Amino acid sequence: MSVEFCGLELAHPVLNGSGTFDLIAAARVFGEEVREYFPFSAYVSKTITLQPRTGNPPPRLWEAPAGLVNSIGLPNKGLDGYMAEDLPLLSGLRTTASDGAPAAVPVITNVMGASAEELTHLVQACDARPEIAAIELNVSCPNVRTGLDIGSDPAQLEAVVRAVRPATRKPLIVKLTPNTADVALCAQGAERGGADAVSLINTLRAMALSPGRPGEHWLGGGTGGLSGPAIRAIALAQVAAVAARVTIPVIGMGGVQTAAHARELLDVGATLIAVGTESFRDPAAGTRIASGLQALSAA
């Protein structure tokens, strides 16, 4: 079940979605053995920004029908803090390959910036670190100049990716936003700009109101993003549409809870799949889904 992805040899097709698994916290809670039996075949970091961010004021979560609205606000230590404090702790992870042998887990660092210049700076810094195998761009960020989410407009996305591309020879993945008119056009823009792969879907913009307080936002950040099984059918449609229109690999995600759900995304053209919200309910969901996929393919 090993998979080749942009020159990386991965033990199985199951990654974590950015921002849905904190290895450093998990090692504190479950012990260091998490590093030896990591659920995912590559570790995608949470989003790193140039400057540190504390994140949004609480409340940050709302339970939706079959899903979760979150408004976390990308808390992180900033580029310097991540490189100095976190990255050294993310290296040396191992997962279990389908033959039972331990396999190395490469680190994919996810970065977000409000301009091509800021993203270029972040990507250059990632390029310089051998512990980072690939870079994922979070383009669900308003452009400081246009105010548009960078990833919501195909031409803007193409221009940003084209500007950032020369900063690294490492695999460059663009995490597409579903909050756009035509995600496949955006994927094509990313491909034309030089992306090596695209990942989707990010959360769908959503909101919740405070019970008993008409019209008042519940989430401290105002609006948030919906994830979980509630969005699975949308993810399937978007992944299928993108896979049909680009030649680069696609990482599919959105509401995956079982190997059968993962198999569907692979069947419509994804090369890899990612698990996010389901890991909140079951921290070993990645392992369960990877071994389930193995069983499905053997059947």
Partner 1 sequence: MSLAPFARRLLTVTGMDELGTYRVLRVADPDTLEPAPGQFAMLTAAEHWGGGEQERPFLPRAFSIARRSDGESHFLLEDVGPGTRRLCELRTGDRLWALGPLGTGFIAPPAQRRAILVGGGVGIAPLAILQDTLVTKATVLLGFRDRGRAEGAALLDGASLATDDGSVGHAGLVTELLAEELARDPGAVVYACGPAGMLEGVRALCEHLQVPAQLALEAGMACGFGACYGCVVPRRGGGYLRVCVEGPVIDAAELDGVDAHAGAPA
Q: What residues numbered 218-237 form the site for partner 1, per CB under 8 A? A: 228-229
* Interaction of residue 140 with partner 1, rule CB under 8 A: no
Q: What residues numbered 252-281 form the site for partner 1, per CB under 8 A? A: 277, 279-281
Among 6, 10, 11, 34, binds partner 1 (CB under 8 A): 34
Q: Which stretch binds partner 1 (CB under 8 A): 69-77, 183-191, 197-205, 258-266?
A: 69-77
Q: Tell me, by CB under 8 A, how many residues bind partner 1.
A: 40
Q: Which stretch binds partner 1 (CB under 8 A): 4-12, 63-71, 108-116, 121-129?
A: 63-71
Smallest separation, CB 133 to partner 1 (Å)? 21
Rounded Cα distance between 279 and 143, Å, is 31
Among 18, 20, 41, 110, binds partner 1 (CB under 8 A): 20
Q: Which stretch binds partner 1 (CB under 8 A): 3-11, 55-63, 246-254, 259-267?
A: 55-63
* Interaction of residue 64 with partner 1, rule CB under 8 A: yes
Rounded Cα distance between 188 and 184, Å, is 6
Rounded Cα distance between 15 and 39, Å, is 8
Smallest separation, CB 205 to partner 1 (Å)? 17
Q: What residues numbered 187-216 form the site for partner 1, per CB under 8 A? A: none
* Interaction of residue 55 with partner 1, rule CB under 8 A: yes
CA 52 to chain CA centroid, Å, is: 19
Q: Which is nearer to partner 1, 184 or 231 (CB)?
A: 231
Smallest separation, CB 234 to partner 1 (Å)? 17
Q: Which is nearer to partner 1, 5 or 62 (CB)?
A: 62
Q: Which is nearer to partner 1, 44 or 160 (CB)?
A: 44
Q: What residues numbered 70-129 form the site for partner 1, per CB under 8 A? A: 70, 72, 75
CB 60: neighbour CB atoms within 10 A?
Answer: 18
Active-site annotation holds for 126:
no
Catalytic residues: 141
Residues that bind partner 1 (CB under 8 A): 19-22, 24-26, 28-31, 33-34, 37, 54-55, 57-68, 70, 72, 75, 228-229, 277, 279-284
